[in-house]
Amino acid sequence: MAIRPILHIPTPCLREVAKPVGEITDEIKVLVKDMFETMYDAPGVGLAAPQIGVMHRVIVMDPAGEEEEPRPLAMINPEIIWLSAELRVHQEGCLSIPEYYEDVERPDVCKVEFLDEQGESHELTCEGLLSTIVQHEVDHLDGKLFIDYLSRLKRDRVIKKFQKIAKRAAS
Ligand code: NI
């Protein structure tokens, strides 16, 4: 197992669409393990494969609070099949946009279909924090980031800030 470097904006692959996983090979199983290790190390509550530069539709999450038992959840080829009309607001952050947090409004409940690491198919109804995390991580697989839900002013400001940081690091 290995902790893999987490890419930050404006890395182009964070804006690309990830490919579905065809067969769950040992490589995919290692990827899932590495993603958990990377997420817990960060620490974060969710991570999508494109955030470590792997363009596969794989996400890992753990919605448990600090005092709770870990609840690791990995989803391969997740697909949101239903969203509630009721919304909830949650202050979101993203490991690819470090130390930046903003309120985002999303459907309160979602239903997601996915494969686990054994290739078993599942359908899960997610509420509250888990619903927010699933929607945020599935967005990553389509090259979408939580800052896309903010006003253009706020989004442009944070993108500019990270472009500057990247420029400084490269020079
Ligand atoms: Ni994120």
Chain segment 34-65, per-residue pLDDT in tens = 999 999 999 999 999 999 999 999 999 999 98
The reply to whether 35 falls in a domain is yes
The reply to whether 1 falls in a domain is no
Residue 93 sits in a domain whose CATH number is 3.90.45.10
Distance of alpha carbon 107 from alpha carbon 161, whole angstroms? 29
pLDDT band, very low/low/confident/very high, at 157 (cuts 50, 70, 90): very high
The reply to whether 24 falls in a domain is yes
Give the total number of structural domains in the chain: 1
Cα torsion through 5, 11, 16, 20, rounded to 10: -10
- The whole-number pLDDT of residue 143 equals 98
Distance of alpha carbon 50 from alpha carbon 14, whole angstroms? 6
Distance of alpha carbon 113 from alpha carbon 61, whole angstroms? 15
The reply to whether 6 falls in a domain is no
The reply to whether 85 falls in a domain is yes
- The whole-number pLDDT of residue 91 equals 97
- The whole-number pLDDT of residue 65 equals 84
The model's pLDDT over 118-151, given as tens digits with 9 standing for 90+, comes to 999 999 999 999 999 999 999 999 999 999 999 9
The reply to whether 49 falls in a domain is yes
The reply to whether 124 falls in a domain is yes
**Average pLDDT of every residue of the chain:** 97
Cβ contact 7:13 at 8 Å: yes
CA 94 to centroid of ligand 1, rounded, Å: 4
| pLDDT greater at residue 83 or residue 170 | 83
- The whole-number pLDDT of residue 45 equals 97
pLDDT band, very low/low/confident/very high, at 66 (cuts 50, 70, 90): confident
The reply to whether 105 falls in a domain is yes
CA 61 to centroid of ligand 1, rounded, Å: 11
The model's pLDDT over 9-42, given as tens digits with 9 standing for 90+, comes to 999 999 999 999 999 999 999 999 999 999 999 9
CA 95 to centroid of ligand 1, rounded, Å: 6
Q: Say yes or no to pLDDT of 171 above 90.
A: no
Q: Which residues are catalytic?
A: 137
Query: Three-state DSSP class for 15?
Result: helix
**Residue 86 belongs to domain spanning:** 12-170
